[in-house]
Amino acid sequence: MNRRAGATGGVPELAGTALAGVVGRRAFVLGLGGVGACLAVDACSGADPGRSAASAYTGDYRMMALAAALENQAVSAYLALRAAVGRDARAGRGSGRPGGSGSAFARLADACARQHAQHAATWNAILRAAHKPAVAGIPLSGRLSPVNAARSAATLNDAISIALRLEVQAAETYIVAVSSLSSPAGVAAAASIAPVEAMHAAILRFMASDYPVPASFVVTTDAASTSDLRL
């Protein structure tokens, strides 16, 4: 499909996807910058948990905000895992820690983190286009637990396991979301991102020496819920 790009210009990363022309360049770039700035200070914690009564996000926008928060969480977790790998590589440690035999994982983590940042930027671009605030940080219940776990990953298998849980949860969340969203941009985004999260998961399983495609269909028992959102 070749939808015309919006007034702000096309986004090269979205060319050839169902999102082409739906997400404007300026909003997308703003979203990427937001992810970077948030992660640079590593202190963006999202809104206060007690603010849910007057949330700016209702209906579709609540699901989109959840998606942005999950993507921010994935970026933070991968960066933490990457840092653990780098720390061990510099220390010259053996295979017990992620860096020991984990340079393949580090390369994978970098690639996954970049793609998750693009996903977050897309969700935030859609939110901004609807005059909703972009989601910074990880405003989720239990929001830092995967990131903290990533920081203290003790082995390569730990690192892969943490990353895999995040990827599986994201893919499952999008598979649930795609049937509940009514916005065409939201449906296109969820449908376009879910397979990419699933690809990340398949390669992580391969690296963990597990079968890469465990079932004919993706079950959704671990999908995140909008009730997890603290906004």
Site of interaction with other proteins (CB under 8 A):
1, 13-14, 16-19, 95, 101-105, 107-108, 110-112, 114-115, 118-119, 122, 156, 160, 171, 174-176, 178-180, 182, 184, 187-203, 206-213, 215-218, 220
Cβ closest to other proteins, residue 88 vs residue 197: 197
Cβ closest to other proteins, residue 96 vs residue 142: 96
Q: What count of other Cβ atoms lies within 10 Å of the Cβ of residue 33?
A: 14
Q: Angle at which helices 60-91 and 103-129 pack, to 10 degrees?
A: 160
What distance in Å separates the CA atoms of residue 226 and residue 61, rounded to the nearest whole number? 10
Tokens encoding 214: 């465990």
For residues 146 and 193, is the Cβ–Cβ distance under 8 A? no
Cβ closest to other proteins, residue 65 vs residue 203: 203
Q: Rounded to the nearest whole angstrom, what is the least distance from the CB of residue 30 to other proteins in the complex?
A: 17
Cβ closest to other proteins, residue 104 vs residue 154: 104
What distance in Å separates the CA atoms of residue 148 and residue 119, rounded to the nearest whole number? 22
Q: Rounded to the nearest whole angstrom, what is the least distance from the CB of residue 202 to other proteins in the complex?
A: 4
Q: How far is CA 166 from the centre of its chain?
A: 8
Q: Rounded to the nearest whole angstrom, what is the least distance from the CB of residue 96 to other proteins in the complex?
A: 12
Helix or strand or coil: residue 75?
Answer: helix
> CA–CA distance from 105 to each of 33, 55, 72, 183, 204 (Å)?
25, 38, 20, 36, 8
Tokens encoding 89: 């590589």
Of the candidates 41, 40, 32, the residue with the CA atom closest to the CA atom of residue 12: 32
Q: How far is CA 80 from the centre of its chain?
A: 14
> CA–CA distance from 93 to each of 46, 98, 99 (Å)?
36, 9, 7
Q: Rounded to the nearest whole angstrom, what is the least distance from the CB of residue 134 to other proteins in the complex?
A: 18
Cβ closest to other proteins, residue 41 vs residue 217: 217
- Non-local (6+) Cβ contacts of 50 within 8 A are none
Q: Rounded to the nearest whole angstrom, what is the least distance from the CB of residue 201 to other proteins in the complex?
A: 7
Cβ closest to other proteins, residue 196 vs residue 231: 196
Q: Rounded to the nearest whole angstrom, what is the least distance from the CB of residue 130 to other proteins in the complex?
A: 18
Q: Rounded to the nearest whole angstrom, what is the least distance from the CB of residue 1 to other proteins in the complex?
A: 6
Cβ closest to other proteins, residue 13 vs residue 228: 13
